[in-house]
Chains A and B, each alone.
Chain A
Amino acid sequence: MSEQENIVEFEEISIEAPERAFDIEAPSAPVSDTPLAEARERTQASVKKTHMSQKTKNAITNTIIHIVLVVMCFVWILPFIGIVLESFRCESTGLAGYIFPQKWGFTNYVRLFKETDFPHWFLNTLIMGVIVAIVQTVFVLMVAYALSRHRFKGRKFLMNLMLVFGMFPGFLTLILLYTWMHDWNMTDLNALWGLILIYTASSGMGYYIAKGFFDTISHSLDEAARVDGATRLQIFYKIIMPLSKPIIIYTILMGFMGPWGDFVMATFMAHNAHAGYNVAAGLQWLLTDSMKNEYYTTFCAGGVVVALPITILFLLLQKYYVAGVTGGAVKG
């Protein structure tokens, strides 16, 4: 938790210019009736006046901003409070026009685990998350390192190729991937394995952020190691890897969280075998028109069960996420 405090130490700096600009003391001159002195006196007074009004103005602005922030945070958090409250509603299972349950209880959580395939979904997603996180991280680091540190023939071509094919919408390939995976018996109840293959196989394309990070590590380290006779493999895992902890954790975090949110691929791959879903596909399925009236509150309970661990994990690793996202945005 102490690390988290480092994330955003912005408090010290502020956009406001220091007020000392207005505090420049005029050289004290004896009050006289020369026009110059009079003018000086007047200026001093007016400076003081602006200073005062500036301060009150600042206070008012700050108060307004505080109010705005409170309202904003309320708006941002309201849906999540809503989900939690509705997940405890026992008197009805469909949509209701009110937020506070009339009868509280854990019925929905019990139903979630007993009546739906939620345990399967959760397990599927957990397995996917772990495997995808590992393989994707390895792939991304490999590609990013090669493209960042090695200059070889075809490097530009490879990067352009990935850029161009990254511009096609991924859904285009749904039908082919399904047919393909179906041939290998990796769909429906086994959708888990097909999905892992799909998520990981081309994950090397997401190398941008990691490459941007490697680019910032000084080349003199590599050169020093090469002088000492290290092979490139040794440089990779003995020098670059230990320095890249933030980006490694960021990549792992992203890889792990991916399968929790994807419902398109998961729905498509599992087709109609509901036990093969991941949490996203499963919970979304609970809200289809025919299921909604009976399972709406169960969906809320499922949302809470899924969101809680993910959010905690995310907040713990927040620092790395911020680093990755900011680095990626600035590098473009």
Chain B
Amino acid sequence: MVDTGLSHAVLNGLVTGSFIALGAIGLSLVYTIADVPNFAHGELLMLGAYFALLVNLPGTMPVISYVSGGDQSVVLLGAALLFALTVGGTLGVIYLLGGWQSFRGAWWPIDVHPWVAIAVHVGLALLLGVYVATGVPGMLPAFVLSAVLLAAIAPLFDKYVFRRFREAEASLAVMLIAAMGLAFFLRYTAHATYGGSVRRYQYPRVRSVFGQEINVAAAKYFDFFVVESGVSLRITDTAEVIGDPVVVVLQYTWLTFAVLVGATALAAYGGYRWRRSGLGEHEAAQTIGPKMVGSLSGVLVLVVLAVVLAQPGGNPDEYLYATRIRTSVMRLSVIALAGALMIFLHALLKETKLGTAMRAASDNLDLAKATGIDTGRVMMTTWIIAGAYAAVAGVTVGMLFHNIVPSMGFYQLLPMFAAVILGGLASVYGAIVGAYVVGIAMEVGIFTFGFGGVHRVSMAFLVLLIVLLVRPEGIIGR
């Protein structure tokens, strides 16, 4: 039996950091562009988690339960309802991007015939609608419905609440309290609608991945051993109750291990240098910058070499040091999902005109307005992204912790805020870095001090308080 240790806590921190980052992205965008310290952002996560239940467990939700057949299926009318919700949400999002004009493609970077744009928009809406309506009770359609609905709802907060305060030149304090009022409203309306009982998603634990049946929720053990002759890795699947749970044991001699580490470092550095050379001052303007190239090449080399250099081996009986990472496919896919969404956002910010406008608006809204940027559209886009990402984060939290309650938003809000402040409010990237710092700090903190999970949030705050003590402006700072 091998105990989990620091490495386990760090990996857990990465998972935690991932969903914090998804929330913090929206929070930070809204903070810098719309100037709203959105205390209601946690409630967006909560709403996202509940909306996913409409697809996953329609039989337990109000209204839609009348048109459901059992907990996890819907009759035709129920499917029609989901279809209408999705189509309405999608079209609503497009409408919010700039009124009826945006259906004609006004927000597209290229000029097309209005009817083409309309056809694409309506087609997309119908496609998503059909996907969600026929996808009950799958989790992916649930993600889609939740993201679409929140993308349509979040901008309304700005339209009906925050914009009015902004136009009245309300102080930061007033904004904060108004946001808190909104949070109260959302949380308790949801509470009254859905009730206070704990809900959880129901989804099949065994999935077919690349043709193999894998239990995504069951824990996998990754045990690292340091033995006299080198390093070895043992992977165990706890889902395999019958037979040998050990999937594979990989052995590396000290030499191959050194090669592995060295080649990885070299590839990372080389990639960085290669991309860096000749860029001069314009590093930040690159979509795929040197840092990204460096880390990608490093990871690639690591994975390839780890497979190539591995030698099969038996269970090590004597070892100098051993540590275990306990994780599951689902937890790892959270990191992947967050990474994919971050790359999407990165491309959006760096490659599109809208993204450029958003970055300009976050630097200086008045200046952006003066240079002819449609700040209204930028604002709406910001909220749409914030809503959709928060929805994904909310469903993720719901899947990881099996604990969907109306109060979940408030406690998720705190680490997200900590992440944004750690990032110094300067940019989304700061918030992402902050989120991983906070996530790792939370997990490593409770591991080091031996606290229970209740103190996760406290740890996030402890980090924040210490940083604020030394540097009142946040790490990266304005």
A and B associate: no
Name B residues whose Cβ lies closer than 8 Å to a Cβ of A: none
